[in-house]
Amino acid sequence: MPMRTDCGLPRFSANKLTDLIKYMRSGEGLTLAALILFALSLFVFPLALLTRVGLTDGEGFSLGPAIEMLSHGSVPRALWRSLESAGVSAILSLVTGTAIALLVGLTDIRGKAIITFLLLIPMMIPPHVTAIAWVQAMGPSSPVLNTIGLAPPPGSPHPLYGRGGVIALLAVQNMPLVFLVVLAALRALPREMSDAARVSGAGTIVLLRRVILPLLAPTLIAAYALAFIAALGNFGIPALLGIPGRYVTLPVLIWQRLSAFGPSMLADVAVISAILASVAILLVLIQSTLLARTRNALIGPPQAPIYLALGRARSSVEAALWTLVVITFLLPITALFGTALVVTYGLPLNAETITFDNFREILFEQSVTARAYRNSTITAGVAALVIAALCILLARLLAGPKGPARRIGLGLSTLAEITYAIPGLVISVAFILAFIRPIPILDVSIYNTLAIILLAYLCAFFSIALKPISAAFLQLDPALDEAARVAGAGFWARIRRIALPLVAPAAASGAILVFLTAYNEVTVSALLWSTGTETIGTTIYNYEDGGYTTLAAAMSAVTVIATVALMVLLDLMGRRLPPGVVPWRL
């Protein structure tokens, strides 16, 4: 008999086949098989098709079509604009995010928790809503700027349309990402070096310049890459600010081509998508390499954080942070609610023009909005539950002992990270390619149904829940599982009775994060929706694009309320969870 460990594949000897069958029929074998099947059909198959259509010339692998596409016209211009907007906005995100992280992480300012929470809201609010809010906030008819007499005069073009606006809003949207990564790294900084510098008489500036920033360098590069990837895949902001300003990025170009010309453009669009995906994957590789190095360098026992007393500067620093909160969150959101409450776009908000009709219209009257809320709630809810369940199984493999099962698990989680980094529009192009024809054998067509949107969510957002759930699994003492196994509990019994109760809070947080992301997204469904399968994101976008600005603002306002409510819920749950499970609780 071969040695049989429960957590790895058996070491085969004479009866390889029997053993394999026996293993595959065990709980863990089934889990592994199910996860592999899931990854093959939803991660590998669509992206392989995209690669085949996008990076071959009919005979074999070839960059010919991509180079042809990049040689002239709108594609190279859009690629350049994508790189420019992502590159510059990521620099802005990096500088502000790092500065705020240093202030929150290292100094004695007051109200850190509330400032952190408020600064992070812009990250969770969907980008198309952010863009709509800023358009309302800065234009000549801005309800806020008009009240304080700072609005641009009638007849002046909107200041945010075009390159500047796209870059500025991408920077605002992704600044919290940098902030979180840098804050986490600061928490893990070894005290010894800063203490040594202090003892040697280094002041705050020298300490920052000579010790802390050099130690943070790899983190900063990784954070920059993170902000870059997020900006590269962003669709809502360049669509709403870039199109009127004739500043078209690659995701917008993909969307324009496919929505204007339909599936006949699919082959061309696949080439553009493959180009965009390659840029994103390249960045992920750079980023993960750097992040791995930082982890190696900085792991140490948890230590009391470094505190720098700001002294007299404290009040002005606090004032600056609160001003930033007001500008990045309160100003656009107030403008958004102002527009949502006004009887028709363009009128100032006052006692005569205030109305709840826009909210009534979108909540109770319009069949399309009712359908959108239902569709988004169902798809985001099912995606959250399925992903959380699969992540529990995958995280169980990842936390298990070294062996083939864990290696496969690691491979799957890397795949999930890649699909997360690939822009949502590219994922949706891949899913159109994969599912435009009926599924073979089953002979069911899911194109133009909610099912294709749901499956694309499973692919795009899988890794969101995996991070908190595997963090929770890694904290479990393996002795618990061992003890249960010795006592005769099978695989499923151990999952249900031991692991599940302990990781349930993390799994719930992961599910809420997936729900929040899917509920708010527009990039994945922008190309997958059709009549009857509208999502909240696509409906808001279509209202804004069609000139129904007040209705778009009202729907956006509801989205903001729902988002903040879910974040508060997550925050309350996060108090009882290990650090890192809820992204902003470190």
Partner 1 sequence: MKPIVAVALTSAILTAPVFAQDTSVSGPLVLYTSQPNADAQQTVDAFVAAYPNVEVDWVRDGTTAIMARLEAEFVAGNPQPDVLLIADMVTMEGLEAEGRLLAYPEADVSAYDPAIMDPEGYYFSTKLITTGIVYNTAAPFVPASYNDLLRDEAQGQIAMPSPLTSGAATIHMAALTSHPDLGWALYEGLAEQGANPQGGNGGTYRAVAGGEQMFGFVVDFLPIREMANGAPVNFVFPEEGVSAVTEPAAILSTASNVPAAQAFIDFLLSPAGQQLAADQGYLPAHPAISPPAGFPAREDITLMGFDPAEALANADANRLRFTEIFGQ
- Residue 73 touches partner 1, criterion: CB under 8 A: no
Q: Are 520 and 563 in contact (CB under 8 A)?
A: yes
Instruction: Please work out, in degrees rounded to the nearest 5, the angle formed at the alpha carbon of residue 557 by the alpha carbons of 555 and 561.
Output: 120
**Integer Cα distance of 496 and 490 in angstroms:** 10
- Residue 440 touches partner 1, criterion: CB under 8 A: no
- Residue 519 touches partner 1, criterion: CB under 8 A: no
Which range in 54-62, 366-374, 376-384, 437-445 contacts partner 1 by CB under 8 A? 366-374
- Residue 155 touches partner 1, criterion: CB under 8 A: yes
**354 DSSP β-pair partners:** 342
Token pair recorded at residue 104:
């929150």
Select the residue interacting with partner 1 from 228, 431, 462, 548 (CB under 8 A).
548
The residue (of 194 and 375) whose beta carbon lies closer to partner 1 is 375
The stretches of 234-265 forming alpha helices (DSSP H) are 236-237, 250-261
- Residue 19 touches partner 1, criterion: CB under 8 A: no
Select the residue interacting with partner 1 from 542, 571, 573, 578 (CB under 8 A).
542
- Residue 267 touches partner 1, criterion: CB under 8 A: no
**Integer Cα distance of 278 and 193 in angstroms:** 40
Q: How far is the CB of 361 from partner 1 (least distance, A)?
A: 6
Which range in 31-39, 383-391, 516-524, 536-544 contacts partner 1 by CB under 8 A? 536-544
- Residue 436 touches partner 1, criterion: CB under 8 A: no
The residue (of 31 and 549) whose beta carbon lies closer to partner 1 is 549
The residue (of 162 and 190) whose beta carbon lies closer to partner 1 is 162
Token pair recorded at residue 538:
């696509």
Select the residue interacting with partner 1 from 368, 382, 502, 573 (CB under 8 A).
368
Select the residue interacting with partner 1 from 17, 402, 531, 575 (CB under 8 A).
531
**Count of residues in the chain:** 586
The residue (of 342 and 390) whose beta carbon lies closer to partner 1 is 342
Question: 123, exposed or middle or buried, with CB in 10 Å at 0-12, 13-18, 19+?
Answer: buried
- Residue 261 touches partner 1, criterion: CB under 8 A: yes
- Residue 417 touches partner 1, criterion: CB under 8 A: no
The residue (of 141 and 174) whose beta carbon lies closer to partner 1 is 141
- Residue 195 touches partner 1, criterion: CB under 8 A: no
Task: Count CB neighbours of 99 within 10 A.
Answer: 17
Q: How far is the CB of 549 from partner 1 (least distance, A)?
A: 5
Which range in 188-196, 243-251, 378-386, 439-447 contacts partner 1 by CB under 8 A? 243-251
- Residue 61 touches partner 1, criterion: CB under 8 A: no
With both helix axes pointing from N to C terminus, report the angle between 500-520 and 536-546 in degrees, rounded to the nearest 10.
Answer: 20
What is the DSSP track for 349-414? PSTTTB-SHHHHIIIII-HHHHHHHHHHHHHHHHHHHHHHHHHHHHHHHHHS-SSHHHHHHHHHHH
- Residue 538 touches partner 1, criterion: CB under 8 A: no
- Residue 363 touches partner 1, criterion: CB under 8 A: no
**61 DSSP β-pair partners:** 56
- Please give the biggest Cα pair distance in the chain: 86
- Residue 289 touches partner 1, criterion: CB under 8 A: no
Q: Of 516, 386, 379, 378, nearest to 35 (Cα)?
A: 386
**Cα–Cα distances in Å, from 47 out to 274, 287, 390, 559?**
9, 21, 20, 31
| Residues near partner 1 (CB under 8 A) | 139-141, 154-158, 243-244, 246, 259-264, 343-347, 353, 361, 365-368, 530-531, 542-549, 551
